Amino acid sequence: MLKPDYIPDTEPTIRVGIILPEDKQETIIIDSTNSKNIKVLFDRNKVEIKHKLIVFEVKNNKVFYNGMYTELVEIYQDSEPDFITIKSVVAGRGFHWVKHIEVKLSFKIEIRVEENGFIMINEMPMEQYLACVATSEMSAECPVSYIEAQTIVARSWMLANIEQKHVHLGFDVCNDDCCQRFQGVNHLSEYSKKATENTRGQVLLHQGKIVDARYSKSCGGIMEKFENLWENKPKAYMQNKSDAPEAFDIDLTQESQMNKWVHSSPKSFCSPYYIKEDDLHKYLGNVDEVGSYFRWKIQTTQEELVDNIRDKLNLDINFVNSLTPTKRAGSGRILELLIEYIDSKGLENSITIFKDYEVRRILHKMFLYSSALVIESVSISNSPFPDRFIFYGAGWGHGAGMCQIGGIGMALAGYSTTSIVEHYYPSAHIKQIYK
Ligand SMILES: [Zn+2]
Ligand SMILES: [Zn+2]
């Protein structure tokens, strides 16, 4: 396991959660056709597996296979081109783009049962993990300087290892957007291997520490500050900054300027000026929806909104009277949202929602792309309350650190790997920490 705040001088091994207890998966189907030297251990004793298709089930809170019970399964195999195929793995866990995909895994796999569901962990050398992440996050069609930038950023984020979201379950990161998207060797290409080799051991450093290099799909034009999204520990390399060659002269904390912003298309690196929206599907990873992320519009009805708020906040609410952003961050993301509503007794009441993530969760059952949005209420019936709410938004994700679509925009415009990472993490620099 990785240690927080520690700079390794040799390549570390890392553990990735592939199936999590929250997936409540009770069957694992593995196809081992493409793994020549596979070795399987049950509770550390070697077992002969005769069939290429291996089915594990949860029984009596243990792993059950072919009449045998075991606490721990360990599968050892070589690096790719050898791999085993796991038939059904969750991608987009908890988000509206959730689906089940097939995942091909090399190196070591561990399987055990926790809370009556499987845990599967894939253990591998760091650089192998990164080569897989580069093309799981985005497609291998991306320009080289972008894939290299994404690899340096992913390596830094991993080794800074600040979040430690899954340490209690015995792995460093999960396979999904909660941490970094990892889909095994599925999309591994000569291209992504080369990008990893070219940047081997390189991380971003700031004042002698590895940068906590968070990133998201699209900032919407201006990057967000660390402390507006997570704990109040400002970072010099994560500030409000225009994602463009020159700073935009605009103050998105002001409602009127934010309104103009979402209805316009400033020339940021993540805008259609640098990447045409029709080309985006070429560059995005395979589980993403294809749509417009730079500027978007989503509607919700009064009933849908009330149901969602009641459900998510466990609030006694019958009608929404108004939705008012009362505090915005520099990227336009909503930090405080006032909801005025009528409860089941017909009384007027209000509640304030804090933080970008909560606003995205509360305003729509599908979890909105971003909270950098303006709200229009529409009244068409005789009801005293709005019939519909329209959200006009900018960007996808929290918007801090590297804007992935912007990074591709920079690469397409000819910027180098170094200039891309230094643009998104100002005041940080690249250093190779192991060979
Ligand atoms: Zn995670
Ligand atoms: Zn951007």
Give the tens place of pLDDT for each residue, 42-91.
999 999 998 999 999 999 999 999 999 999 999 999 988 899 999 999 98
Label residue 238 by pLDDT band (50, 70, 90). Answer: very high
Candidates 359, 372, 371, 405; CA nearest to 216 is 405
Q: pTM for this one?
A: 0.90
Give the tens place of pLDDT for each residue, 366-376.
889 999 999 99
Residues 6+ apart with CB under 8 A from 343: 316, 317, 318, 349
The angle subtended at Cα 222 by Cα 216 and Cα 228, nearest 5°, is 70
> Which residues lie at CB < 5 A from ion ligand 1?
165, 174, 178-179
Candidates 188, 206, 186; CA nearest to 196 is 188
Q: Ligand 2 centroid vs 202 CA: distance in angstroms? A: 23
What pLDDT is attached to residue 248?
A: 98
- CA distances (Å), origin 316, targets 99, 159, 309, 320, 343: 33, 44, 9, 11, 5
Q: Ligand 2 centroid vs 271 CA: distance in angstroms? A: 7
Cβ-count burial of 158 within 10 angstroms (0-12 exposed, 13-18 middle, 19+ buried)?
Answer: buried
User: What's the DSSP call for residue 316?
Assistant: -
Q: Ligand 2 centroid vs 25 CA: distance in angstroms? A: 37
- Residues in the chain, overall count: 435
What pLDDT is attached to residue 288?
A: 58
- Of the listed ranges 168-182, 220-234, 393-407, the one predicted with least confidence: 168-182
Q: Ligand 1 centroid vs 167 CA: distance in angstroms? A: 10
Q: Which ligand is nearest to the CA of 178?
A: 1
Quick check: 192 pLDDT over 80?
Answer: yes
Q: Ligand 2 centroid vs 335 CA: distance in angstroms? A: 19
Quick check: 227 pLDDT over 90?
Answer: yes
Q: Which residues pair with 206 in a beta bridge?
A: 209
Q: Which residues pair with 56 in a beta bridge?
A: 28
- % of residues, the chain, pLDDT over 70: 98
Q: Ligand 2 centroid vs 69 CA: distance in angstroms? A: 51
Quick check: 115 pLDDT over 60?
Answer: yes
Q: Which ligand is nearest to the CA of 266?
A: 2
Let me know: does 173 contact 180? Beta carbons within 8 Å.
yes
List the chain domain ranges. 16-124, 295-394
Q: Ligand 1 centroid vs 165 CA: distance in angstroms? A: 6
